[in-house]
Structure 1
Amino acid sequence: MIEIDFDAIYSQSKEQKNATLLAQFNQLTEFHYQHCQLYKNIIDTLGLAPTNGCLELVPFLSTQLFKELELVSVPKSQIIKTLTSSGTTSAKVAKIYLDADTAKLQAKSLVKIMQCFSGKQRLPMLFMEPSNLIADRRGFSARGAGVQGFALLGRDHHYALNPDMSINWQQLEQFFTKYQGQKVLIFGFTFMIWQYFYQAVSASGKTLPPLDAIVFHGGGWKKLAHLAVGKTQFNQAMQQLFGKAKVHNFYGMVEQTGSIFVECEHGHLHAPNCADIILRSEQDLSVINDFGQQGIIQVLSALPHSYPGHSILTEDLGRILGEDTCSCGRKGRYFEVLGRIKKSENRGCSDTYQEVSHD
């Protein structure tokens, strides 16, 4: 089991972090190579080595492989939960298998990361989701996994939506009235907050009491593109909706739950000590080292133990903006996500709500 220091989770500078992560990833790669036959077959076929001398040489898997193969590195009897993520155009579903150790690591990491933005006090929490989303405790969609993970940050959980995605006015008005003017946590996926909450509340003509909200949201930006809704407009809408709001976008995926990248006060997504990103060329997958250049995002996480998801090539494009130099004071690489690779499947953590098929 990988040992991870979760204290001061944005504290490691480049040299220290690279050395620590390399040792962890070499250990993880060797473990998965020995315990997941499918992973071993991939590594052998590609002629790669389970251990190496730099992060850029850590073998990576495509996100699509988690839809095609059953990738698991522990006995099935040890699996306590299965996370799923599905696309809008494909019937294939990615399955991520968690044992108790991996689930514990992911939960602890998520809490430590988010506390850097919300504080250690557990605040009243409102989810932009229906309460029945997490009814099955052994299996979650990406949305359900997000709700369960973020629930650890708050207390007195309320759910803003009904199962049919209409506003649950009783819950909503109860929460806003009870915590009027107080600091609260809000969690939801970007597109769902906009369509099923913000637009619905605006159309109702109702006025809700003001809150002092910390809003965490992620995924679903592409679905807002056709509405010409950008980050600035979204943040302004949150101010209008809650009265006062600190808004933090985050980037993450069900294949690496727990090691998410959160947007700081200056609008930059940050890699914590237990994770990192690498950019690769769209032409030949070579490493892009220069800041500001566009490339395919490869995400690395020291958390996956029960499945070989520690190094994944995504279908997203981004730019690394700097390392150890952000004005917010957090160490590590900081970056922005630019969108999906052309012709890649429109898929994300928001697990887009389907009118005819509920989660």
Structure 2
Amino acid sequence: MAMDDQLANDPVVFLNEINLLTEHHKAYCDLYGHYVHTMFGDRAATSLAETPYLPVRAFKNFDLKSVPDSEVVKIMTSSGTTGQVSRIYLDKETSQAQSRKLVEVFSIAFSKSRFPMLVIDAENTVADRRKFSARTAAINGFSMFSRGRDFALDDELSVDIDRVQAFAESNRDNRIFIFGFTSIVWLNFVQMLRRQNVRLNLSNSFLLHGGGWKKLADQKISDAMFKDEVREWTGCSDIRNYYGMVEQTGTIFMECEHGNMHAAPGSDALIRDTSSLDALPHGREGLIQVFSSIQKSYPGHSLLTEDVGFTLDGASCSCGNRNTIVKINGRLQKAEIRGCSDAYNS
């Protein structure tokens, strides 16, 4: 299929891109260069499993950038429950590359069209143009696919039923794009609709949500339960999850129509044993390592996350996307909760 060719990474080309980024960041980020030299040596990786990885926690403890301060145009932040903040430094080239990648991933899943967009959040979340939290950035980033944007929640994060119904009515002849962080969609939207016994008619919509699963996991809310509740109270049946992080903004693992989150073109993932950190084959659970070929201004191209899960061969999915499938099982025990989407003040 043509789609297979379009979506499948060439492993040789991709590894070369990752190796070039490793050398680039070693040359322009002294701290990263010392780290790689000490921990991994200086030999070029012959596989993704040999690629030096940087723990995502490093961005909470160190300023890591590969461009001079004069070229930094944006600093992305994500806050954890301890108050530690990751700081991600973007230059113009990397910021633009992130936007292009987001367009590519979204277009593969939903088309290149623009849609009326209902954001399951409060408008004041994006009111401060100087604020670049992960939550704010995601809303503004996905808004590039909007053709008119409205917000479902008031400033206290309570659902504004009248406003949502008016939006739905005015766009009843259009396909609607609904976006929000998972925990906010569940707690502040779906569960509030349930408590007020209000069913919306958003059957002409698709929902994209991501992040914030920790609160739902604590309540034993599964992905299937989440989708069932969304369908019951909104009528929306096209519900897609995505996996991403501020440390690799733009490069996300998008859920296909068969419920599998595939790596984007120009990205990949593998699993490492939680004890030995050895690379594991498909199907084995461990720490998720993520790769992306667009991070030029900071060493975010090969990151060891604190998320636990496993991978599958993308060819096992009938959607046509042959890139690696990632399944998320939770967070590493005793790891700090990332919090960039769970914390309302992010």
User: Which of 59, 67, 71 is residue 66 of structure 1 equivalent to?
Assistant: 59
Aligned to 1:77: 70
Q: CA deviation at 1:34?
A: 0.7
State the identity as a percent. Answer: 38
Moved more, 112-121 or 189-198: 112-121
Aligned to 1:313: 304
Q: What does the per-residue CA deviation read over 1:174-227, in whole Å, with 9 as the maximum and x for residues that have no partner?
A: 211111253110111111101011111222233433431111011122211232
- Residue 249 to residue 65, structure 1, CA distance change in 2 (3 Å): same
1:225-236 residue pairs with structure 2 within 5 A? 225-236=217-228
User: Which of 248, 252, 257 is residue 244 of structure 2 equivalent to?
Assistant: 252
Q: Is the 8 A contact 2:261 2:327 kept in 1?
A: yes
1:130, 1:42 → 2: CA distance?
A: 41
- Residue 20 to residue 227, structure 1, CA distance change in 2 (3 Å): same
2:201, 2:304 → 1: CA distance?
A: 44
Query: AA paired with 2:19?
Result: N
- Residue 209 to residue 256, structure 1, CA distance change in 2 (3 Å): same
1:122, 1:197 → 2: CA distance?
A: 23
TM-score of the two chains, using structure 1 as the length reference: 0.91
Q: CA deviation at 1:138?
A: 3.8
User: Which of 119, 139, 156 is residue 111 of structure 2 equivalent to?
Assistant: 119
Aligned to 2:46: 53
Q: What does the per-residue CA deviation read over 1:108-166, in whole Å, with 9 as the maximum and x for residues that have no partner?
A: 11111011221111111011111122233344111011111111112101111122212
Q: Is the 8 A contact 1:81 1:139 kept in 2?
A: no
SS in 1 for 2:317: coil
Q: Is the 8 A contact 1:176 1:211 kept in 2?
A: no
Query: AA paired with 1:244?
Result: C
Query: AA paired with 1:19?
Result: V
User: Which of 6, 24, 33 is residue 11 of structure 1 equivalent to?
Assistant: 6
1:12, 1:124 → 2: CA distance?
A: 27
Aligned to 1:4: none
1:253, 1:269 → 2: CA distance?
A: 14
Q: CA deviation at 1:348?
A: 4.6
Q: Is the 8 A contact 1:82 1:97 kept in 2?
A: yes
Q: Is the 8 A contact 2:311 2:324 kept in 1?
A: yes
Q: CA deviation at 1:253?
A: 0.4
Unaligned segments of structure 2, at least 5 residues:
none
Aligned to 1:3: none
Moved more, 72-81 or 42-51: 42-51
Q: CA deviation at 1:8?
A: 6.2
Q: Is the 8 A contact 1:109 1:259 kept in 2?
A: yes
- Residue 108 to residue 10, structure 1, CA distance change in 2 (3 Å): farther
SS in 1 for 2:132: strand
User: Which of 320, 336, 345 is residue 345 of structure 1 equivalent to?
Assistant: 336
Q: Tell me the matched-pair count.
A: 345
- Residue 207 to residue 333, structure 1, CA distance change in 2 (3 Å): closer
User: Which of 311, 314, 321 is residue 323 of structure 1 equivalent to?
Assistant: 314
Moved more, 269-278 or 198-207: 198-207
Q: What does the per-residue CA deviation read over 1:78-108, in whole Å, with 9 as the maximum and x for residues that have no partner?
A: 11111111112x1210001111111111111
SS in 1 for 2:274: coil
2:3, 2:88 → 1: CA distance?
A: 28
Q: Is the 8 A contact 2:122 2:151 kept in 1?
A: yes
Q: Is the 8 A contact 1:10 1:273 kept in 2?
A: no
Aligned to 1:164: 156
The reply on whether 1:300 has 2:291 as its aligned counterpart is yes
- Residue 348 to residue 262, structure 1, CA distance change in 2 (3 Å): farther
1:35-50 residue pairs with structure 2 within 5 A? 35-49=28-42
Moved more, 343-352 or 22-31: 343-352
2:167, 2:311 → 1: CA distance?
A: 39
The reply on whether 1:273 has 2:265 as its aligned counterpart is yes
1:207, 1:336 → 2: CA distance?
A: 31
- Residue 20 to residue 12, structure 1, CA distance change in 2 (3 Å): farther
Q: What does the per-residue CA deviation read over 1:60-93, in whole Å, with 9 as the maximum and x for residues that have no partner?
A: 10011000000011111111111111112x1210
Q: RMSD over aligned Cα, in angstroms?
A: 1.9
